[in-house]
Structure 1
Amino acid sequence: MSISDQVTMFYNAKPHIFEKAKSLRQNMTEAELKLWDHLKGKKIQGLRFRAQHPIDIFIVDFYCHSIKLVVELDGGIHLSTEQKEYDIGREAEINHWGIKVIRFTNDEVAADINKVVLTINEFCTKRIKELNTPNPKGA
């Protein structure tokens, strides 16, 4: 992987963000670990996902660079009004980089991991088609 690929994939993340991401990888939640078992090792359509991945000033739960897709898992804190507002702003910043974000709750992962994985798989298929469809002239 070239240096320019590294810069692109991490969207100018600073060293302290990488340190925090490393710590988060070492302390993943039960739901994150459960989903990670299904994402790691290119198990979904041969796509490589990364856990606790730095993007600019943020760390996302899971990221697939080849299709610019973030998968986020939300615990109970994400139900608060303040956190919901923060998440909306954070997602808008991530979307600015051309990255799509899909979200699931920890409860969804615990209750039906297969449904979550199926939904991610379907979204990956949709995202691949989006990225491989040329924009019509003037779009």
Structure 2
Amino acid sequence: MKIYYNPKLKELARQLRNSSTKSEIKLWTYLRRDQMHGYDFHRQKPIDEYIVDFFCNKLQLVIECDGYSHEIQEVYEKDLKKTKRLNELGIYVLRFSDFQIMNDVDNVIRAIEDYIFRFEANDFTPPLLPPC
């Protein structure tokens, strides 16, 4: 599937890759270099009018690392809007808090693997709008 994005986001995505959070760095150690069951993930990927933390085109999967600011109502509403738009593009979104990634990465990896195994088995119809 061809993913379109706003070219104006390219430089911002580069800056975000160079200033990753600790949780993004930790999760990236599991996703980079096709380590996640051979799937190719990209960091800070522009999609449509958004930049997502991690994206795998083959899986049509976005993984977002949410810091404490995502608990603020305004940011939470932006997250819902972003997730809804990505779902409209046929992309599923998994969200994990920084706390989950830093303190329970094994279960984060299990959740990602569960998505992959269901995807591979054609046994996964993600909800239209997963919870944030």
1:132–1:103 CA distance, 2 compared to 1 (3 A): closer
1:84 has 2:61 as partner: no
> Is 2:115–2:124's contact at 8 Å kept on the other side of the alignment?
no
Percent identity among equivalent residues?
A: 34
Equivalent residue, structure 2, for 1:57 = 49
CA drift of 1:81 comes to 1.1
Structure 2 segments unaligned to the other structure (5+ residues): 126-132
| Structure-2 separation of matches of 1:98 and 1:72 | 16
Q: Give CA-to-partner distance per residue, 1:85-118, whole Å, 9 cap, x none.
A: 1111110011111000010000001101121112
1:127 has 2:119 as partner: yes
CA drift of 1:128 comes to 2.7
> Is 1:51–1:63's contact at 8 Å kept on the other side of the alignment?
yes
Alignment size in residue pairs: 125
> Is 2:6–2:47's contact at 8 Å kept on the other side of the alignment?
no
CA drift of 1:21 comes to 0.5
| Structure-1 separation of matches of 2:38 and 2:121 | 15
| Structure-1 separation of matches of 2:92 and 2:123 | 11
Determine which structure has the larger helix proportion and give its number.
1
> Is 2:87–2:93's contact at 8 Å kept on the other side of the alignment?
yes
1:57–1:94 CA distance, 2 compared to 1 (3 A): same
1:120–1:132 CA distance, 2 compared to 1 (3 A): closer
Name which of 42, 55, 61 aligns with 1:69: 61
Structure 1 residues 1-139: aligned runs within 5 Å: 8-9=2-3, 11=4, 13-130=5-122
TM-score (norm 2): 0.88
Structure 1 segments unaligned to the other structure (5+ residues): 134-139
Give the letter for the 1:84 counterpart: Y
RMSD (CA atoms):
1.7
> Is 1:32–1:61's contact at 8 Å kept on the other side of the alignment?
yes
Structure 1 runs, 4 residues or longer, greater than 3 Å off? 130-133
